[in-house]
Each structure stands twice: as structure tokens, then as C-alpha cells.
Amino acid sequence: MLQWKVGKENWRSTLVTGRTDYEIFDGRAGKYEFHITSINSARTRTSTKSYKIFNAAGKTALPAAPTNLTWEAIDHKLARIIWDKTEELDVLLGGNVILRYSSLTDGSANWSDANTIWALSGTANEQLIPLIEGEVFIAYRDSGARIGPATSVIIDLPETLETFAVYTDREDTDATPFAGAKTDCYYDSDLGGLTATGASLFDTVPDVDALSDFDITGGVDPSGSYDFAAKLDLGAVYSVDLSRHLVTQGYFPADDFDGRGGYMDTWTDFDGSSGTATEVNARPYVRATNDDPASGSASWGDWNELLGGTVKGRGFQFKLNLISENPDHNILIKQLGYKAQLQSRTEHAPAQIASGAAAKTVTFGKSFFTGTAVLGGANSNLPSVGVTIMNAQEGDWIDMGTVTGSNFTFTIKNGSAAVNRNFTWSAVGYGKGV
């Protein structure tokens, strides 16, 4: 007769005949106690029992690192990240594939300082991501929330002539770093970055003897937000490609016992600065308006996380959310910004057009971005226009007039006189007005 129990549960009895082993299904971590009594053919039990205690620690091994991580460009906006599907059941069933991202491309980034952008099903082996430069890390998290070693791939894109960087913002390198509005965060010149606020457990008492309870709340604030110092105004409504720039570092704000915050049962270690502060994250967001963003009556859309992609609007506002899921872990925002780019495009005449014996104005189907007083200067990026005379005669020439973002004017002349000729045209520039 076998009797057994786990922890403080009730004893369970199982009659075992003709066997010297017994299998317990759905086992779990805990203290197992076993009593075994022999029974003879007359159904008489032995007067003593065999006794055994077994402490089942459960699964403690970390998942293995993902293998064969690669990436491929799908188009100028999207990339596909691919890796071998795990064979570990505790990742496949109830686990996750965690993707983290850093804007650094020099190989100096690491898992703890990157930011989580996706938590996929444990069965996943690929994911579409915005085609932005940086280092992408992936690691497996099993059903017990244990995260294994990470594998990474660097996406370093070549320079192309197909886009125009209409604006690049860096909040950390401005004359006054991180000059925007801050909520539960502040700029620390000693650390050289933006960090979440919070008071340590013992900051408010002069002596530990004055404490009546070690479970005083404190530590790092669970969340904070930073509004970028300025809004982006394109002057008119365009579709613009936005990509983020974000470099962070997780850290322990207090390495000593008497500087730790929160409840002791939330502490992940007791040995100072060992380990890494990974229970933090930062998420940039953007929202758009078709109105003048400087107007107090502008109608803004919803905030959407800025991973990278195309957003339509005239004005854009940016913010960053700082997150800590552990009162001992803080995050330092070392670099923060974004790049706004417009795609190159071409318009052309659908058929031959008669010029008439006068100045001819051609209006584009969609306007081009030509710059503003703030963004490069007004009319600093006019489209390049070409006109071809289809039935030209000797002495014909083109007197090119003005070019704007929405049209151009020219006159076909023979000598000094305007003449009527058929022509075609093409214009190359950046941006597509809405």
C-alpha cells in the first residue's frame, strides 16, 4: 500500500499489486512524502512503514537560445525576422518568444538594455517588423516565466536616394537635453539621461530604528511619461515615414540593502548590483492632426505606439512612456528621437498636351513637399521638372517659368514669340500631398 501527499494536502492512498513502481501524473514542485506498507496474501499489513521525503524543485533550467536568426527585407517598409522553431514543450505550451529592440547598430547593445516590442506565441518562428536600423534580440520564455539566453541580429541599412529626411529629432542632444514636459520622470545630468522618479524605502526616515514596518511602500514609480519638446509641422497634409531612435539602460537605483525600495518579497536579489535590471521598458508614441498643430483647436487622433511605418497628417506629436514592473528596477533613457522621411515619387503627363501660344500652367495631381521656414527653408526642395516638345520645329525653345509644389509654368517659344506645340512632362520630388 502506497500513501503520499504534497505539502499540506491530505494523504492519498493507492493499492499497488505486482509492481515496484508508481507514476504520479501532473506533478508539481513541492515536498512529497511517501509511506509504503507491505501486504501479504492474507491481507495482513506489516507493522512498520517505509518512509521517504522528496523535495521536487520543479523545472529550473532556462530555455535554450534561439538558433539560425536571420532577417530579410520585404519592401522599403517591412522586414521579416526568421528563426528555428523551438522544440521545448514548456515554451511551445504556455511560453512565449520575446522580441526586444535597440537602435544601436554597432554591436554594443544587449538584451537588458533593449526594449520589448513583441511577446509572441511560443510556437512562432517568424515575425514581420518595420524595416528600421538597430539590433533585434529574441529569447524564449517558458511557461514558468523563465527567460533563456538571447540571440540577436543587426539591421544596418545602406543609404539610398529614394527617401528625403525631412526632419531628424534627438531630444538627448538638444541644447537643453530632454526639455519637454515630464511626469514622474526627470533628467539626471549625473547619469546622462531621462529616468523615472521614486523614493527609496528608507529615504524618509533618519534611522532604521524609527521604522515600525519593513513593508513601507517606495522604490521606483511604476510609470512615467515624457512629452517631446516640439511638435512636427509639415505645413500641409502628407504621408510621412516615421522611425524611432531609442537607446535605454536598465539599472538598480540602489545597490545596497538600506537603499532598496518596495516590499522585500518583491526583491529579485540581495547581493547588490549583481544581475541585470530587466523588468523595465520604454515605449514611444505618436499622434497626428490634419490641422495646424500650433493651434489650440487642433483635432488630434489617437496615440499609437511608434515602431516604424507611415503616418498621415500635417502635424505630429510624440511622447515616451517609461515602465517599471519592479520597484527595484529603473530605466535610463540615454538616446531618444525619431526620423521623418518622405518617399521619392514621379508624376508625368498621361498623354500629349497642347501648350497654346502663351504661358502654360500644369498642375500636379498631388502636391510635392518643398520645405517650410522651419524644415529646411521654404521652397528649398522644389521638384525637378522636365518638358519635352513632341512636334518641335527649328528655332523652338522652352522658357521655363516658376515651379512650386503644386504646379509649374512655362512657355514654348520660337525666337521671341510664343508658339503652340504638343508636349509631355515629368516631375520628380518628395512627398505626396493629401
Average of per-residue pLDDT across 318-347: 92
The pLDDT of residue 273: 44
The pLDDT of residue 8: 86
Cell of 129: 517588423
**Same-domain status, 9 and 137:** no
Which residue, of 114, 130, 155, is where some domain finishes?
Answer: 155
**Same-domain status, 318 and 366:** no
Q: Is the pLDDT of residue 266 over 70?
A: no
Average of per-residue pLDDT across 345-367: 95
Which residue, of 344, 373, 394, is where some domain finishes?
Answer: 344
Which residue, of 307, 328, 344, is where some domain finishes?
Answer: 344
> Under DSSP, is residue 337 helix (H, G, I), strand (E, B) or coil?
strand
Domain assignment present for 168: yes
Q: Is the pLDDT of residue 160 over 80?
A: no
The pLDDT of residue 19: 76
Count of residues for the chain? 434
Domain assignment present for 64: no
**Same-domain status, 115 and 225:** no
pTM of structure: 0.75
Domain assignment present for 374: yes
Q: Report strand pairing: 50-56 vs 96-102.
A: unpaired
**Same-domain status, 229 and 339:** yes
Q: What CATH number does residue 418 fall under?
A: 2.60.40
Domain assignment present for 63: no
**Same-domain status, 257 and 241:** yes
Q: What CATH number does residue 281 fall under?
A: 2.60.120
**Same-domain status, 259 and 357:** no
**Same-domain status, 217 and 120:** no
> Under DSSP, is residue 292 helix (H, G, I), strand (E, B) or coil?
coil
Of the listed ranges 53-67, 346-360, 409-423, the least confidently predicted one is 53-67
Domain assignment present for 65: no
Sorted by sequence, the CB contacts under 8 Å of residue 385 that are 6+ apart come out as 400, 403, 408, 425, 426, 427
Alpha helices in 32-179 (DSSP H): 89-92
Of the listed ranges 53-62, 166-175, 323-332, the least confidently predicted one is 53-62
Q: Which domain holds residue 386?
A: 349-430
**Same-domain status, 135 and 24:** no
The backbone torsions φ and ψ at residue 91, rounded to the nearest 5 degrees and listed phi first, read -95, -45
Looking at the structure of the chain, the number of domains it has is 4
Q: Residues 326-337: pLDDT tens digits?
A: 888 899 999 999
Distance CA 268, CA 262 (A): 12
Q: Report strand pairing: 407-414 vs 353-354.
A: unpaired
Q: What CATH number does residue 149 fall under?
A: 2.60.40.10
Domain assignment present for 288: yes
**Same-domain status, 232 and 122:** no
**Same-domain status, 76 and 186:** no
Q: Residues 204-228: pLDDT tens digits?
A: 334 444 434 333 345 688 889 999 9
Distance CA 231, CA 5 (A): 64
Alpha carbons within 13 angstroms on the beta-carbon side of residue 110 total 8
Q: Average pLDDT, whole number, for the chain?
A: 86
**Same-domain status, 201 and 309:** yes
**Same-domain status, 285 and 315:** yes
